């Protein structure tokens, strides 16, 4: 369903009226396309505190803050006290006016030092600073914090955040550690030669994920329930992949996936999910168990089976779908919120072990209000609240979730592990 309010605010009368009434004024987001693969303009490289990082290879930057820029990257890894926080203000205060609509601000921070509470306080302060700036910067611009120690390990993350692919990702804190980095032979098709399985891939967000992974070169397997087999085959044929009709809640689903893919798997995307909303006082046991089985138990079972069998190749990627409902809660969705919070627990617990034992990373996307057939059926006023209650004042698109998934799946993202990244335009709900 078209966002008519967004279109209206782009007109002269719309801008005038919404300004007079103090209503949100969303800016059209600049998303990736073959014709527009990168942001237009320079990237400013700024520094606060004393940093020893060499960002030249990871960030193609300009030091001229007097002209219009597409983005600013502030290296604040050297900030160790409140004096260093003053440098953050001094660096970004004049630069913000030069960043174009739809631009990016990335703050680079360091891991918190448990032995130095001054450094830990200053670095934690960057989180509140980043999220607050994201809520006020406006004009379709985004602000994110990346904690890192090695710029080379963060190259894929910085490329993603400095591109139109991250249009609906803002107010996020992403930690990049150490991990195996693989430079793709073809940067335009980084997943070439890799096989990706997308559950619930016949429609909506799953279809967008499958299409984006195929664009990046993957051979995509579209998995969905037998009732959606025709749609799954249609999507697979369009993408040059294959379809797999399977109830993901089946006890032997993992074994059947492994049997269907004798050559193994490189990317596993857990996208299948359902809602059965009721307030808890009115929720029967069937509604509860259906949601928990599809959204969480099936993810646990199939992940365990595919890791144990070795079907997931070393260097593989697992990307699960959480939700801001699991992070912030939502009335009428105790079952759904529980299932999606469970995904967060799975990621945080499994990620270090999966990397150490299998060479596989585990991350999650947490969508906010995404424009799908499901949200189009939401009553008007609730739908409008969902669209406007974020820093970008609009709903996201399925491709926004897909682009974030593709970043997690990238061969160069081996140091991105155990992360839960919200794709929500910095929703006002939750952290």
For residue range 169-217, what is the model confidence (pLDDT) as tens digits?
999 999 999 866 788 889 999 999 999 999 999 999 999 999 999 999 9
Same-domain status, 95 and 146: yes
Residue 50 lies in a domain: yes
Same-domain status, 80 and 44: yes
Residue 12 lies in a domain: no
Residue 6 lies in a domain: no
Contacts for 335 with CB less than 8 Å, ≥ 6 apart: 276, 283, 287, 288, 291, 292
Q: What is the spatial distance between Cα 424 and Cα 362, in angstroms, rounded to a whole number? A: 20
For the record, the structure tokens of 353 come out as 């072990």
Domain boundary among 142, 175, 208: 175
Residue 190 lies in a domain: no
Prediction pTM value: 0.96
Residue 363 lies in a domain: yes
Q: Mean per-residue pLDDT for 256-283?
A: 97
Same-domain status, 140 and 95: yes
In the predicted model, is pLDDT for residue 310 greater than 60? yes
Q: List Cα–Cα distances, 176 to 88, 149, 179, 182, in angstroms.
A: 21, 8, 9, 15
- What are 130-140's pLDDT values in tens digits? 999 999 999 99
Same-domain status, 170 and 201: no
Choose the catalytic residue: 5, 168, 336, 369. Answer: 336
* Domain containing residue 97: 18-175
Residue 8 lies in a domain: no
Same-domain status, 279 and 398: yes
Same-domain status, 236 and 133: no
Tokens 């996201």 appear where? 396
In the predicted model, is pLDDT for residue 62 greater than 80? no
**Strand pairing report for 42-49 and 142-147:** unpaired
For the record, the structure tokens of 325 come out as 């409902």
Same-domain status, 167 and 246: no
Q: Does the annotation count 336 as an active-site position?
A: yes
Same-domain status, 206 and 117: no
The CATH number linked to 205 is: 3.40.50.720
Domain boundary among 119, 144, 175: 175
Same-domain status, 73 and 117: yes
Residue 1 lies in a domain: no
In the predicted model, is pLDDT for residue 347 greater than 80? yes
Residues 76 and 107: beta-carbon distance below 8 Å? yes
Same-domain status, 244 and 167: no
Same-domain status, 125 and 213: no
Same-domain status, 314 and 167: no
For the record, the structure tokens of 412 come out as 């160069």
In the predicted model, is pLDDT for residue 129 greater than 80? yes
Domain boundary among 144, 175, 206: 175
In the predicted model, is pLDDT for residue 431 greater than 60? no
Domain tally for the chain? 2
Q: What is the pLDDT of residue 171?
A: 97
- Provide the pLDDT confidence category of residue 66 given band limits of 50, 70 and 90: low
Q: List Cα–Cα distances, 255 to 245, 251, 273, 319, in angstroms.
A: 14, 9, 20, 19
Residue 353 lies in a domain: yes
């Amino acid at each position: 369903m078209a966002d008519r309010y967004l279109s209206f605010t782009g007109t002269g009368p719309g801008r005038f009226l919404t300004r007079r009434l103090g209503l949100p004024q969303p800016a059209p987001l600049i998303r990736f396309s073959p014709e527009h693969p990168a942001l237009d303009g320079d990237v400013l490289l700024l520094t606060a505190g004393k940093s020893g990082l060499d960002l030249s290879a990871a960030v193609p930057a300009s030091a001229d803050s007097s002209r219009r820029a597409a983005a600013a990257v502030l290296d604040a890894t050297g900030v160790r006290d409140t004096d260093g926080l003053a440098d953050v203000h001094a660096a970004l205060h004049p630069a913000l006016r030069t960043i174009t609509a739809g631009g990016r601000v990335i703050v680079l921070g360091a891991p918190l030092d448990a032995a130095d509470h001054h450094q830990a306080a200053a670095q934690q302060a960057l989180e509140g600073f980043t999220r607050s700036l994201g809520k006020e910067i406006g004009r379709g611009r985004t602000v994110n914090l990346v904690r890192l120690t090695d710029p080379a390990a963060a190259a894929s993350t910085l490329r993603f955040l400095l591109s139109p692919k991250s249009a609906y990702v803002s107010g996020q804190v992403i930690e990049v550690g150490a991990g195996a980095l693989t430079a793709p032979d073809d940067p335009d098709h980084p997943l070439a030669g890799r096989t990706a399985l997308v559950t619930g891939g016949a429609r909506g967000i799953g279809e967008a994920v499958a299409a984006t992974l195929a664009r990046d070169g993957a051979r995509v397997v579209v998995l969905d329930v037998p009732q959606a087999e025709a749609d799954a085959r249609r999507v697979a044929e369009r993408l040059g992949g294959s379809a797999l009709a399977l109830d993901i809640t089946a006890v032997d689903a993992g074994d059947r996936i492994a049997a269907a893919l004798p050559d193994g798997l490189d990317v596993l995307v857990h996208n299948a999910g359902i809602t059965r909303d009721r307030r808890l006082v009115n929720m029967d046991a069937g509604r509860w168990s259906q949601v928990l089985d599809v959204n969480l138990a099936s993810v646990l079972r199939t992940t365990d089976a595919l890791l144990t069998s070795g079907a997931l190749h070393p260097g593989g990627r697992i990307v699960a779908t959480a939700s801001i409902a699991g992070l912030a809660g939502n009335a009428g969705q105790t079952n759904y919120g529980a299932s999606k919070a469970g995904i967060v627990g799975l990621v945080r617990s499994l990620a270090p072990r999966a990397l150490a034992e299998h060479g596989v990373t585990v991350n999650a996307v947490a969508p906010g209000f995404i424009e799908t057939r499901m949200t189009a059926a939401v009553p008007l006023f609730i739908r409008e609240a969902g669209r406007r209650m974020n820093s970008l004042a609009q709903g996201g698109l399925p491709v926004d979730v897909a682009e974030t998934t593709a970043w997690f799946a990238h061969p160069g993202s081996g140091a991105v592990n155990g992360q839960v990244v919200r794709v929500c335009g910095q929703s006002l709900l939750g952290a």
